[in-house]
Copies of this chain bind each other. A is one copy, B any other.
Amino acid sequence: MTQQKTWRIGVAGLGTVGAGLLTFLAEHPDFAPAGGKAVVTGVSARSRSRPRPFDISGLPWFDDPVALANSPQTDVFVELIGGSDGPAKAAVEAALSAGKPVVTANKALIAEHGAELAALAEAKGAPLLFEAAVMGGVPAVKMIREALVGDEIASVAGILNGTCNYILTEMEATGRSFAEVLAEAQRLGYAEADPTMDVGGFDAAHKISILAALAFGCAPNYAAAEIEGIAGVELLDIHLARDLGYRIKLVASADRSPDGVLVRVHPSLAPLSHPLAQAGGALNALFIEGRRIGRIFVQGPGAGAGPTAAAVAADIADVMTGAVRPVFQAPATSLAPFTPVDPSKSIGRAYLRLSVKDEPGVIAAVSETLAEAGVSIESFLQKPVENASGVPIVLTTHAVAESVLTAAIDRIAALPAVLDRPRLLRIAKI
């Protein structure tokens, strides 16, 4: 055991997570999980004078995070700036180039530049750790990278964005619209002033891209992710899905097949009795399916200063152990190519909501059109809904290729009695 070695930590970015980390380290001056000791020897942020819940006056200040990364007083560089490029990337590259271990919570950086950073880290023998980038305090990264290395993972799927999960949960619980709940979430600080990354599904896509790389030993490929956010989820769909025994969740999934990898983020229906459907509020939840291990489910708070700072602290502890392992499942030099699967070939069940004229023969026309297109109906529901323009009809299909489904939707949309393009939601493959 390395006795009493001191690790000098440079922390760039003093927002929620940075504050949580400094608070943790201040409260635990004896934090020495692997026999060594962590001491913060430098900080950097956009504003030195901004009010903070802790005193940074005693800590060496760096205006430039790259200078902090390069400082001879920095042994381990902790990047909590955020953003896929710019100062975060420059500083991480500087630290790794100098052979310094890097701990980051930056999902965009890893999802978009993970392969090149991994190559740099491994060439320099410097760990690059990012537990806090996915699911906050739930150790999804460690589980997949380290604990399931003795298995072949077939798929990972889950709820990776707490803001979206909170909004969907509140919409169902209060009967308010997406816009109303989002506005409230912004007032309460649960959603950003610019909520695009969260509600657009991009944050979840960053995270699932990282998990896919870890699970399948391929380079992260955020650009290949198919992404749909929750801004288009209507209260009507939440209620109709519930009548059919489902709850709408923003599900991020990565599946490996002989054809390649499919990474997607979609509002999806999960059966009410399913653990994903029961993960409410700001919870995150994840299924990991492995050939040997079967299905593992893990759930917990996916964000927040406490959980995320604890994940950063755990990564710092890992650095202290001296462990050397590939950044992703395999060394960067031998990561499998990421072969994206054409989503249109993907097969799954679907939920379709139609708005139709209240006249005879409509249901027959819709069912015939679906049958002719090769789509088999599993369940069907017509319900009077107040204040609806047109009559809503909702149905679920048996498993069908997306290309077939899309063609069928085109044909249904063209029927004279159908008022709008049908709303498609996928039923989660869980």
A342 is an interface residue with CB less than 8 A from chain B: no
A327 to B316, CA, bound (A): 18
Quick check: is A148 within 8 A (CB to CB) of the other chain?
Answer: yes
Query: Which residue of B33, B122, B294, B295 is within 8 Å of A1 (Cβ)?
Result: B122
Is B147 touching A131 in the complex (CB atoms < 8 A)? Answer: yes
Instruction: Give chain A's interface residues, CB within 8 Å of chain B.
Output: 1-2, 20, 24, 31, 33-35, 122, 125, 131, 136-139, 142-143, 146-151, 273, 275, 278, 290-301, 304, 306-307, 309-314, 316-318, 320-326, 329, 331
Using known A-B contacts A149-B314, A150-B317, A310-B150, determine if residue A300 contacts B295 with beta carbons closer than 8 Å.
yes
B331 near A150 (CB under 8 angstroms)?
A: no
Decide if B143 touches A143 in the complex (CB within 8 Å).
yes
Partner of A146, one of B295, B296, B297, B314: B314
A33 proximity list for chain B (CB < 8 A): 149, 325-326, 329
> Per a CB cutoff under 8 Å, which of B292, B293, B298, B310 touches A151?
B310
Given contacts A147-B314, A306-B292, A310-B293, contact A323 B321 (CB under 8 A): yes
* Given A142-B146, A278-B275, A311-B150, A137:B321 Cβ within 8 A: no
Ordered by A's residue number, 13 sampled pairs between the chains whose C-beta atoms are within 8 Å are A1-B326, A1-B331, A24-B150, A34-B323, A34-B325, A137-B151, A137-B292, A139-B142, A150-B310, A151-B310, A292-B309, A297-B298, A322-B322
Q: Which residues of B contact A298 (CB under 8 A)?
A: 296-299
Residues of B within 8 A of A310 (CB): 148, 150-151, 290, 292-293
Could you tell me the distance between the alpha carbons of A122 and B148 in the complex, rounded to whole angstroms? 26
Identical chains in the assembly? 2
Is A294 a contact partner of B321 (Cβ separation < 8 A)?
no
16 more contacts with CB within 8 A, not counting A33-B329, A318-B323, A322-B322, are A34-B323, A34-B325, A34-B326, A35-B325, A137-B148, A138-B293, A139-B146, A146-B314, A150-B317, A151-B313, A275-B278, A290-B310, A294-B300, A296-B299, A298-B299, A317-B325
**How far is B139's CA from A316's CA once the two chains are assembled, in angstroms?**
20
Q: How far is the CA of A206 from the CA of B409 in the complex (A)?
A: 57
Residues of B within 8 A of A278 (CB): 273, 275
Establish whether residues A323 and B326, one from each chain, have CB atoms under 8 Å apart when the complex forms: no
Q: Which of B150, B300, B323 contacts A293 (CB 8 A)?
A: B300
Q: A331 contacts which chain B residues (CB < 8 A)?
A: 1, 35
Measured CB to CB, the closest approach of chain B to A352, in angstroms, equals 30
* Cβ–Cβ < 8 Å partners of A312 in chain B: 150
Collect the chain B residues with CB atoms within 8 Å of residue A293's CB.
136-138, 300-301, 306-307, 310
**Most B CB within 10 A of own CB, among A136, A290, A293, A331:** A293
Chain B residue numbers with a CB within 8 Å of A150 are 24, 31, 309-314, 316-317
- The winner among A292, A306, A324 for most chain B CB atoms within 10 A is A292
Residues of B within 8 A of A299 (CB): 275, 296-298
